[in-house]
Structures are given as structure tokens and as C-alpha cells.
Amino acid sequence: MLKILVPVKKVVDYNVQVRPTSDNKSVDTANVKMGINPFDEIALEEAVRLKEKNPETTVISITIGKHTVQDVLRSSLAFGADRSILVETDLELGPLQIAKVLCNIVKSEEPDLILMGKQAIDDDCNQTGQMLAGILGWPQVTFISRIDLQEKEVFLKREIDSGVEELKTTLPCVVTVDLRLNNPRFISLPNIIKAKKKEIKVIDAKELDIDLARKTKIIEINEPGQREKGEIIQDVDELIDCLKKSGVLNK
């Protein structure tokens, strides 16, 4: 029996233009559409597909945050996860603290595979999966675009600058996924209704006896500066002249 743990995060919808709060200390999420982090959604889709190939597979989704983030767990259950875990805390956690919490859950749940998004689109840290694997002492493969399980062996592919890299590791392991792995399904109404009956286990983060104090501090958040107006170049000769004038190319 295979057990897959899929961490998910609630973020501002990728179609929404984010803006900082008036004090420039955080991102304004008031009255803004939110949902599952797109990379986590891809990881969840792949976990469900693996379950469809092997019905004995158990898929567990997990998120960390306030009580209000339970909606992303309901969405993950509607996707096809068997059950969910909410580690409840009011603290704003960084990648290291999240990795520590996940490590604690891994010890109790004992999953064979941790399948997660390579990064969250709100902070773009791209660190949690790597930190979690380091703390657990498990092998890790990042940014994968294909995964194939054969017994205890895992065959993976990921895109690199020079082409496609093929890798092999063994379970248990941590795998982070890239955009090209799959296209997540649309959640059907019957599955949304079924998800309401599935289990969400709530754990108070204080009970885990973990130091959740952040080691970094957000000083300020600002919108990107106004980009300069572009110029249309008619041909290569004009491009070279422009590069020379700008000093990029020596005359």
C-alpha cells in the first residue's frame, strides 16, 4: 500500500494582481479571490493519478495556517484526496518552520512519498521541499516533469538547460513538481459534495513542541517599478546600432 502526502498552500489566485497593504508589510488579501497554489494543485493531480493506477494508494493533503484555510483542504478532498490534515496556527511561518512542521507530521503518518509544488506563487521561496528532505534525510528530486513508480523505485524526468534529465531514486523520497507534469482536472459537483463528508484532522501547532519563530523578517513589500516603454526594432542592423549606442556592444 502506497501512502502519498501532498502539502498544499492557500494563495491569492494567479489571475489576480496582488497589491501590498497600506503599511507595506504584507500582501493585501482582503476581498481577493484565493485558492490552492497552482504548483501544489499539479502535485495533487499527480497523486490522484497515481492512486487511479493503484487503488490501494492513500492520498493525504495537508496545509498549515489559520482555521480559514480549510477551504483549500476541502478542494483537495474534492480533487480525490482521501483525507486531510490542518496544522492550525496564527503565526506567519517561513519555509524552515513549515518544513519542521511537515517533518513532525511525516513521523506520525509515515508516508512513502511526499509530492509537493516546487514553490508557492506568493513568496516564490522554492525552499520548503529541499529543507524537508534535508531534515528527514530522504532523497529528493526537484522540478520534475514526469514521474513513474515501479515498486520501491521512482523514475523521474526534469527539464534542464541542455535538455531533459532522467533520474532514479527509491522510496521514501521528497519530490517537487513543475508546471509541465500535468494539467489538473476540473472538480465536479458530485465530488464537491462527497468532499464534505471526508475527514479533516485539526492539529494545534502548539502541541507539536516545535520552535516556530521565523529567522527572517519582512521589512517592506512594494509593487514593482514602472517599466520603461519598449521600442520596436525593424531589423538586425538597427538592433546592433541600438546596442552599440547603449554601450552593450563595443564600437
Q: What is the pLDDT of residues 164-205, one digit of tens each?
A: 999 999 999 999 999 889 999 888 888 888 888 888 999 999
pLDDT digits (tens, 9 = 90+) for 67-86: 889 999 999 999 999 999 99
Rg, Å, the chain Cα set: 21
Instruction: Show me where the domains of the chain are located.
Output: 3-222
Residues 241, 44: Cα–Cα separation, whole Å: 50
pLDDT digits (tens, 9 = 90+) for 207-247: 888 888 888 888 888 888 888 888 788 888 888 888 888 77
SS3 (DSSP) at 11 = strand
What is 3-222's CATH topology?
Answer: Rossmann fold (3.40.50)
Which residue shows C-alpha cell 507595506? 24
Q: What is the pLDDT of residue 94?
A: 87
Residues 111, 1: Cα–Cα separation, whole Å: 10
Instruction: Give the chain's mean pLDDT.
Output: 89
Q: How confident is the model at residue 2 (pLDDT cuts 50, 70, 90)?
A: very high
Residues 10, 49: Cα–Cα separation, whole Å: 22
Residues 233, 231: Cα–Cα separation, whole Å: 6
Is 175 in contact with 115 (CB distance < 8 Å)?
yes
Q: What is the pLDDT of residue 100?
A: 94
pTM of the model: 0.84
Pick the more confident residue, 13 or 76. Answer: 76
Side-chain half-sphere exposure of 62, counting CA atoms within 13 A: 24
Instruction: State the amino acid at position 206 in one-letter form.
Output: K
